[in-house]
Amino acid sequence: MNSPSTAPVQTRRKAQNRRVRRAGNFAQGPLYQRLADLLEKMIQSRSLRAGDRMPSVRQFGAQQRVSVPTALQAYVTLESRGLIEARPKSGFYVRARLADLAPEPARSSLAPRITTLEDPDPMESLLADHANSKLVPFGAALPSASLLPGIKLTRTMAAIGRRLGANSIDYDMAPGSEALRCELARRSLEWGCTLKADDFMVTVGATEAVSLALRSVCKPGDTVVVESPTYFGLANTLRELQLKALPIPVNCADGIDLDMLEKALRKTRIAACVLVPNFHNPIGFAMPDERKRRLIELCARRNISIIEDDTYGDLPHKGARPRCLKALEDSVILCGSFSKKLAPGYRVGYIAAGRWQPRVRALKQTSTLIGALLPTLTIAEFLKNGGYDRYLRSVRQAYRHQVARMKEAVVENFPEGVCLSRPKGGYLLWCELPGRADAVKLFKQAREAGISIAPGPMFSPTGDFRNFIRINCGHPWSKSIENAVGTLGRLVRKL
Ligand SMILES: Cc1ncc(COP(=O)(O)O)c(C=O)c1O
């Protein structure tokens, strides 16, 4: 039974919760956050418009029957999301959401043509720049260490180390720790699949997974369809395997142009398609299921292998995780990794290659042979004890707000005409610069000014996207980030 002193408090809390729920918000979390979510919805639906004055903190507290500190905390949360701003002696106002008005970047205008791949240029320095803490990190696609559960993982690893004792330094023999493969199998339900532990092999990141997949289904000289733009590491892999690329333009909203793909498949002999359908790098779209189905049909008709890179699939900004291509067609070779979302340095990835699995396993013996036991077991344990799901819930929100904030800042600071992608997940933003601004020049000048960015031509095997850049939004908003966007804006204007 409640004590007389706590009962009214609990009754009041329940009433507050009912009010928040009645207003259409079923989210979990502290009251101030739910109130902030409620107001965010009103701003997004334009019930509260850019420039509108918000009710005073006191008024809002009274309306919602919450204390003034709770109301204030809700406003501060909205402010940190970049949705409202405090004006001195005047109160809080809804911020202009200029980014919503910026058009989406154009598609590649180049007709698909087979290309052999040149040596990388600024690409090598991009990852090296990541290690340089003096540079503002808009270049490499990596989140801030402050958002990753590094300390928790280290503790988990230490506990596993103690449990295993001397054996903790052992190999992780192929196909990789059963503990991790069981967890992956369990999670595959969320991807729309029903995979078993035996369907997986643990790899050294997604890089090894994609490379093994390509080596299994292609031979040197073959042509592989890639998205345009696409993740630049893929071009490196294709070059080293002596494969040719056929880049097919993608729409910023929903992925690869299927009509163009169909035409290209009619004309050209293709060995495989490598795609990043969920939260694409660099654009951030998620391909809708009906388009995924058509893609699968197109490839099935010609017996073309699909290699799916699902590196960012766990990072939707809102709602459910998108399904994998593999959920719709079992023969798809699924590759994934924990590098971009949990522990970059552990280098733990995986592959589920279906009928190609024995070949993939044989090839692993000629690449990395065996994996590292402790990082693999640590990730398995983190998945098993619920730590990963808890962490994902917070980080998805963080990326949504960081991307939104970056979009606003870019539109405010860059010259008129800048176009921005509308990422549905992950932390990358694709940005078309106005006019003929040369992204490689900008890359060099920005670096001199202490800012790392990824220039557009890196994402095209044919050197397309000369006036595009990709911006990493994986870091919490800060003064230094705000200043860096201002500096970039000034450099773009000069170009
Ligand atoms: C789409 C995509 N695939 C693969 C990788 C490489 O992943 P890993 O570090 O796990 O090898 C990246 C890295 O940026 C990526 O963006």
Domain spans of the chain? 6-96, 102-145+395-494, 150-389
For ligand 1, atom 7: residue with the closest CA: 206
Q: What band does 231 get if pLDDT is binned at 50, 70 and 90?
A: very high
Instruction: Using the mean position of ligand 1's atoms as its centre, give its distance from the Cα of residue 71 in Å.
Output: 41
Instruction: Using the mean position of ligand 1's atoms as its centre, give its distance from the Cα of residue 489 in Å.
Output: 28
Q: Can you give the pLDDT at residue 4?
A: 40
| Residue predicted with more confidence, 308 or 42 | 308
| Residue predicted with more confidence, 369 or 118 | 369
Q: What is the pLDDT of residues 321-347, one digit of tens each?
A: 999 999 999 999 999 999 999 999 999
Most trustworthy range by pLDDT among 1-5, 40-44, 272-276: 272-276
Q: Best of 214, 226, 231, 428 to mutate for ligand 1, by most ligand atoms within 8 A of CB?
A: 231
Q: Which residues line ligand 1 (CB under 6 A)?
A: 141, 205-207, 231, 233, 276, 281, 309, 311, 337, 339-340, 349
Average pLDDT, the chain: 90
Q: Can you give the pLDDT at residue 50?
A: 66
Which residues does residue 308 pair with via DSSP β-bridges, in sequence order? 275, 334
By the 8 A CB rule, do 456 and 344 touch? no
Record the pTM.
0.83
Q: Best of 339, 346, 348, 428 to mutate for ligand 1, by most ligand atoms within 8 A of CB?
A: 339
CATH placement of domain 6-96: 1.10.10.10
Q: Is it the case that residue 461 has pLDDT exceeding 90?
A: no
Ligand 1 atom index nearest CA of 339: 10
Q: Can you give the pLDDT at residue 26?
A: 46
Q: Best of 340, 429, 430 to mutate for ligand 1, by most ligand atoms within 8 A of CB?
A: 340
For ligand 1, atom 14: residue with the closest CA: 141
Fold of 102-145+395-494: Aspartate Aminotransferase, domain 1 (3.90.1150)
Q: Can you give the pLDDT at residue 5?
A: 43
Most trustworthy range by pLDDT among 71-80, 270-279, 391-400, 406-415: 270-279
Q: What is the mean pLDDT of residues 156-184?
A: 96
Residue 55 vs residues 10, 60, 71, 75, 273: alpha-carbon distances, Å:
27, 6, 10, 10, 53
Percent of the chain surpassing pLDDT 70: 91
Ligand 1 atom index nearest CA of 349: 10
- Nearest CA to 427 among 366, 345, 344, 487? 344
Fold of 150-389: Aspartate Aminotransferase; domain 2 (3.40.640)
- As given in the structure block, the two tokens for residue 470 are 């990709």
By the 8 A CB rule, do 439 and 465 touch? yes
Q: Best of 126, 211, 337 to mutate for ligand 1, by most ligand atoms within 8 A of CB?
A: 337
Instruction: Using the mean position of ligand 1's atoms as its centre, give its distance from the Cα of residue 36 in Å.
Output: 34
Instruction: Using the mean position of ligand 1's atoms as its centre, give its distance from the Cα of residue 79 in Å.
Output: 33
Q: Can you give the pLDDT at residue 101?
A: 72
Q: Is it the case that residue 67 has pLDDT exceeding 70?
A: yes
Q: What band does 123 get if pLDDT is binned at 50, 70 and 90?
A: low
Choice among 20-34, 128-142, 195-209, 223-237 with the minimum mean pLDDT? 20-34
